[in-house]
């Protein structure tokens, strides 16, 4: 028994888990469906702008690909969040989480590996998105500026934060279905508040004593809070900021996104440690 | 090699393990017995460092076991009753994944060696989830032995296996003992424990009722099963077979 293997460094364990996670994401069909949906959504937004330009003869945009890129990134981010939640909950439900922890895997290595693997799969999708945007540039005649590849590259940080958010939500659940429902509820809540605020903004108010006013103020405050709390808001802010050439805003949101990602990873590891790795009912 | 002192664990109002102390030595098969709910799996999870005890201490190879102690886990290989496998992995892919996790050198060769060791060399390219339960248990044993740990902890490894499967797993267990490993074996199949174990520890309600050699037990009782039933008070009425 003298040649027992010593424990590998934590980063190496995380890298093995990340490789496995990235491979599963790349070989699964879900990622390609999400990528196709993201590209369709982005193309649709671009076509809306093209039609507006045809109709009005003038379109004022900081970058014609900015809105398309933001939508495509948000669709892809939703998929990342769901994948992260499903992947972690599936490990617990299937019992593989406990088997991993029989070995030199601890909570930090596991969470870092999960985040790293899904972010790697996201990075693999970026050249495809860029190629598609280049093709659309040729078809529409809109110039593809350097801001777009920079925005794509910088979106990796908020993508990591979104993956961390999905994992954090699923760490406390025992089943894949519960994890998906919980994540769906959180996303719907975030979207619902944003949409409600925008709808209220459209309502004309003539009377200063209108009950709509305090409602609008309340929703504005909540919307502002969500902009700090929602991981999707940072992605939107970074991509929008870069596309508009608002570099300072993009840099601040990038730094905040980085801090958010670190907080999500740390909280997920702590919660997993508190929750344990056993399957439900065992 | 495994020293447990005053181990306790409570889940809510239920005392799962209550001041348990035991000692298992290198090169022996230690049968860890107890009725359902006696605290065996909880104890094993604490031995593996995935559950923190409320009180007491565990030492494996003189190293204090702490929760999430990565280096400590390298001293142990563990196999549970059911193998939790990845749907998309072949047998060799599964072992390769864990060999990489454990940082095993020359992983490819080690995987081939372990597959041959447990008699799965010809199933290397098959999906692990497609194997029979007996073969999955053997794959689990191969995984647990990849990093050559001095201690092997097996929780119900022959549960649900047919006689062929039981015999094959038994042969692997006996071989590992002959290689100097401590095999800590929890099982309800008392005939297997009687046949393979050197010493046994019997627990009930989280407390140790007996620890000693199988020979000592058989000097007092006809079979290990008789001893188990007498000690744990788990006698159940026999089912009458109609004439």
| ipTM for the assembly | 0.90
In a domain, B80, yes or no: no
In a domain, A115, yes or no: yes
| Residue showing tokens 């000097």 | B219
Six-digit token pair at A103?
């070995």
Do the Cβ atoms of B218 and B29 come closer than 8 Å? no
Final residue of a structural domain among B130, B147, B164 = B147
pLDDT tens sequence across B212-222? 999 999 999 99
In a domain, A282, yes or no: no
Look at residue B45 in the predicted model and tell me its pLDDT: 93
In a domain, B239, yes or no: no
Alpha-carbon gap: A50 to the closest alpha carbon of chain B (Å)? 44
In this complex, is the C-beta atom of B189 within 8 Å of any C-beta atom belonging to chain A? no
Interchain proximity B150–A1, CB inside 8 Å: yes
Contacting residues for B104 by C-beta, under 8 A, at least 6 apart:
A5, B110, B146, B147
Look at residue B177 in the predicted model and tell me its pLDDT: 94
Strand B207-213 vs strand B199-204: parallel, antiparallel, or unpaired? Answer: antiparallel
Alpha-carbon gap: A94 to the closest alpha carbon of chain B (Å)? 6
Look at residue B243 in the predicted model and tell me its pLDDT: 41
Interchain proximity B102–A96, CB inside 8 Å: no
On whether both B118 and B160 belong to a single domain, the answer is no
For A7, which of B74, B83, B88 is closest by C-beta distance? B74
Interchain proximity A104–B103, CB inside 8 Å: yes
On whether both B71 and B164 belong to a single domain, the answer is yes
Look at residue B160 in the predicted model and tell me its pLDDT: 80
Look at residue A179 in the predicted model and tell me its pLDDT: 92
On whether both B21 and B141 belong to a single domain, the answer is no
What is the band of A33 on the pLDDT scale with cuts at 50, 70, 90?
very high
- N- to C-terminal Cα separation, chain A: 32
Range of lowest pLDDT (A31-40, A129-138, A204-213, B2-11): A204-213
In a domain, B240, yes or no: no
On whether both B50 and B159 belong to a single domain, the answer is yes
| CA–CA separation, B9 and B206 (whole Å) | 9
What is the band of A54 on the pLDDT scale with cuts at 50, 70, 90?
confident
On whether both B181 and B202 belong to a single domain, the answer is yes
Query: Which residue intervals of chain B are DSSP H helices?
Result: 40-47, 70-73, 91-102, 107-117, 133-145, 163-178, 190-196, 214-220, 224-232
Look at residue A276 in the predicted model and tell me its pLDDT: 87
Residues of B in contact with A12 (CB under 8 A): 103
Residues of A in contact with B86 (CB under 8 A): 96
On whether both B66 and B156 belong to a single domain, the answer is yes
What residue numbers bound the domain in which B36 lies?
Answer: 2-75+149-232
Question: pLDDT at residue B99 above 90?
Answer: yes
Question: pLDDT at residue A4 above 70?
Answer: no
In a domain, A14, yes or no: yes
Strand B29-33 vs strand B199-204: parallel, antiparallel, or unpaired? Answer: parallel
Taking CA–CA distances from B41, the nearest residue in chain A reads A282
Rounded to 10 degrees, the C-alpha dihedral A137/A141/A147/A152 comes to -20
Residues of B in contact with A20 (CB under 8 A): 97
Look at residue B238 in the predicted model and tell me its pLDDT: 42
Interchain proximity A102–B144, CB inside 8 Å: yes
Alpha-carbon gap: B4 to the closest alpha carbon of chain A (Å)? 19
In this complex, is the C-beta atom of B149 within 8 Å of any C-beta atom belonging to chain A? yes
Look at residue B7 in the predicted model and tell me its pLDDT: 95
- Report the candidate in B72, B240, B79, B71 with the shortest Cα–Cα distance to residue B153: B79
| CA–CA separation, A38 and A44 (whole Å) | 10
What is the band of A3 on the pLDDT scale with cuts at 50, 70, 90?
low
Alpha-carbon gap: B240 to the closest alpha carbon of chain A (Å)? 34
Question: pLDDT at residue A60 above 80?
Answer: no
Final residue of a structural domain among B147, B168, B191 = B147
Interchain proximity B88–A95, CB inside 8 Å: no
In a domain, B158, yes or no: yes
Look at residue B239 in the predicted model and tell me its pLDDT: 44
Range of lowest pLDDT (A159-163, A242-246, B33-37, B138-142): A242-246
Six-digit token pair at B112?
């081939």
Number of domains observed in the structure of chain B? 2
Look at residue A47 in the predicted model and tell me its pLDDT: 87
Give the mean pLDDT of B177-190. 92
Final residue of a structural domain among B147, B163, B188 = B147
What residue numbers bound the domain in which A238 lies?
Answer: 10-275
Contacting residues for A63 by C-beta, under 8 A, at least 6 apart:
A145, A147, A148, A243, A244, A245
Interchain proximity B101–A24, CB inside 8 Å: no
In a domain, A4, yes or no: no
Look at residue A195 in the predicted model and tell me its pLDDT: 83
On whether both B127 and B211 belong to a single domain, the answer is no
DSSP string, B53-108: -SEEEEEETTEEP-TT-HHHHTTEEEE-SS----TT-BHHHHHHHHHHHHT-SSHH
pLDDT tens sequence across B42-87? 999 999 999 999 999 999 999 999 888 888 899 999 999 888 999 8
Interchain proximity B50–A1, CB inside 8 Å: no
Question: pLDDT at residue A243 above 90?
Answer: no
Give the mean pLDDT of B94-104. 95
Look at residue B43 in the predicted model and tell me its pLDDT: 95
Interchain proximity B78–A94, CB inside 8 Å: no
On whether both B104 and B221 belong to a single domain, the answer is no
- Report the candidate in A130, A30, A145, A147 with the shortest Cα–Cα distance to residue A80: A30
Interchain proximity B98–A6, CB inside 8 Å: no
- CB contact residues (below 8 A), chain B span 206-235, against chain A: none
Residues of B in contact with A5 (CB under 8 A): 74, 102-105, 147-148
In a domain, A182, yes or no: yes
Question: pLDDT at residue B110 above 90?
Answer: yes
Look at residue B240 in the predicted model and tell me its pLDDT: 45
Interchain proximity A104–B68, CB inside 8 Å: no
Percent of chain A at pLDDT above 70?
A: 96
Look at residue A182 in the predicted model and tell me its pLDDT: 92
Number of domains observed in the structure of chain A? 1
What is the band of A1 on the pLDDT scale with cuts at 50, 70, 90?
low
In a domain, B24, yes or no: yes
In a domain, B237, yes or no: no
Percent of chain B at pLDDT above 70?
A: 96
In a domain, A122, yes or no: yes
| CA–CA separation, A61 and A63 (whole Å) | 5
For B73, which of A16, A20, A102 is closest by C-beta distance? A102
Chain A residues whose C-beta is within 8 A of a chain B C-beta are: 1, 3-8, 10, 12-13, 16-17, 19-20, 24, 27, 94-96, 98-107, 109, 273, 276-278, 282
Question: pLDDT at residue A188 above 80?
Answer: yes
Which residue of A99, A106, A107, A277 is the best one to mutate when testing the B interface, meaning the one whose CB has the most B CBs within 10 A? A99
CB pairs under 8 A between A and B: 99
Taking CA–CA distances from B100, the nearest residue in chain A reads A16
Look at residue B151 in the predicted model and tell me its pLDDT: 96
What is the band of A223 on the pLDDT scale with cuts at 50, 70, 90?
confident
In a domain, A2, yes or no: no
For A94, which of B51, B84, B179 is closest by C-beta distance? B84
On whether both B70 and B161 belong to a single domain, the answer is yes
Interchain proximity B70–A105, CB inside 8 Å: yes
Q: What is the pTM of this model?
A: 0.89
């Amino acid at each position: 028994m003298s040649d027992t293997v010593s424990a590998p460094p934590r980063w190496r364990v995380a890298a093995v888990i990340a490789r496995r996670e990235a491979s599963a994401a790349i070989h699964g069909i879900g990622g390609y469906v999400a990528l196709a949906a993201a590209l369709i959504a982005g193309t649709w937004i671009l076509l809306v702008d093209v039609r507006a330009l045809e109709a009005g003869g003038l379109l004022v945009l900081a970058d014609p690909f900015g809105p398309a890129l933001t939508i495509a990134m948000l669709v892809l981010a939703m998929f990342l969040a769901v994948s992260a939640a499903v992947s972690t909950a599936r490990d617990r439900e299937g019992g593989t989480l406990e088997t991993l922890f029989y070995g030199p895997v601890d909570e930090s290595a596991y969470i870092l590996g999960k985040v790293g693997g899904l972010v790697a799969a996201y990075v693999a999708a970026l050249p495809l998105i860029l190629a598609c945007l280049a093709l659309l540039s040729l078809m529409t005649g809109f110039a593809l500026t350097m801001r777009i590849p920079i925005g794509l590259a910088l979106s990796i940080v908020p993508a990591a934060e979104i993956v961390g958010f999905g994992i954090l939500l699923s760490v406390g659940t025992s089943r894949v279905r519960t994890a998906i429902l919980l994540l769906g509820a959180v996303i719907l809540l975030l979207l619902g508040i944003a949409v409600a605020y925008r709808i209220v903004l459209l309502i004309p108010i003539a009377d200063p004593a209108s009950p709509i006013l305090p409602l609008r103020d309340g929703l504005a405050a909540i919307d502002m809070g969500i902009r700090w709390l929602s991981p999707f808001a940072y992605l939107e802010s970074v991509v929008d900021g870069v596309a508009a050439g608002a570099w300072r805003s993009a840099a601040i949101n990038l730094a905040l996104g980085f801090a958010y990602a670190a907080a999500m990873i740390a909280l997920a590891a702590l919660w997993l440690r508190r929750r344990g790795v056993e399957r439900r009912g065992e | 090699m495994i020293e447990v002192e005053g181990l306790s664990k409570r889940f809510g109002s239920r005392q799962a393990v209550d001041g348990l102390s035991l000692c298992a030595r290198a090169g022996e098969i230690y049968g860890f017995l107890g009725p359902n709910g006696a605290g065996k799996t909880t104890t094993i999870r604490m031995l593996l460092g995935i559950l923190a005890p409320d009180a007491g201490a565990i030492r494996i190879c003189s190293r204090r076991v702490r929760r999430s102690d990565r280096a400590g886990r390298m001293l142990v290989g563990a196999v549970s009753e059911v193998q939790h496998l990845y749907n998309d992995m072949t047998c060799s892919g599964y072992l390769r994944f864990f060999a990489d996790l454990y940082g095993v050198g020359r992983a490819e060769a080690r995987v081939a060696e372990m597959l041959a060791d447990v008699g799965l060399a010809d199933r290397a390219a098959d999906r692990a989830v497609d194997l029979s339960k007996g073969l999955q248990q053997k794959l689990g044993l191969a995984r647990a032995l990849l990093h050559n740990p001095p201690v092997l902890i097996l929780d119900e490894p022959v549960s649900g296996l047919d006689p062929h499967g039981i015999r094959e797993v038994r042969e692997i267990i006996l071989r590992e003992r002959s290689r100097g490993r401590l095999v800590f074996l929890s099982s309800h199949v008392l005939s297997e424990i009687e046949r393979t174990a050197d010493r046994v520890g019997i627990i009930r309600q989280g407390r140790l009722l007996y620890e000693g050699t199988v020979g000592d037990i058989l000097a007092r009782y006809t079979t290990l099963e008789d001893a188990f039933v007498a000690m744990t008070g788990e006698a159940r009425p026999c089912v009458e077979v109609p004439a």
